[in-house]
Amino acid sequence: MYTDKVMDHFTNPRNVGEIKDASGVGEVGNAKCGDIMRIYLDIEDDRIKDVKFKTFGCGAAIATSSMVTELVIGKTLKEALEVTNNTVAEALDGLPPAKMHCSNLAADAMHAAIQDYMKKEKVQA
């Protein structure tokens, strides 16, 4: 049911952890399944220098969190904001339809972390 890429990111997730004094932190939860995802960003000169995540959730939520960190590291904020749940799901070679909401969580948490940074720094998108 899961692609090899999903299994790979689930069993060997990248960038797990947290960043002390992060530039931006985003947390989203899904009321239905109760899963929570938190993304930490280290931003320098409008670019994502480092990113870490903590996810309390299903395998797909962990795989999508891991993938989203790989997709945005090194990107500008504008480029990172263009990464959507579909980008994440496609990068994982697809998710079962019932699990698409899990990729939403990853993209939303990442966007929320960027917004948190912009609010703090009073940066315009």
Alpha carbon distance 106, 103 (integer Å): 5
- Only one of the segments 43-51, 53-61, 88-96, 113-121 lies at the binding site for ligand FES (rule: CB under 6 A); that segment is 53-61
| Positions 105 through 124 that interact with ligand FES (CB under 6 A) | 105
Alpha carbon distance 47, 76 (integer Å): 4
| Positions 18 through 47 that interact with ligand FES (CB under 6 A) | 30, 33, 35
Based on the residue annotation, tell me whether 58 is a catalytic residue of this protein: no
Nearest to 59 by CA among 69, 48, 51, 67: 67
Contact set with ligand FES (CB under 6 A): 30, 33, 35, 57-58, 60-61, 99, 102, 105
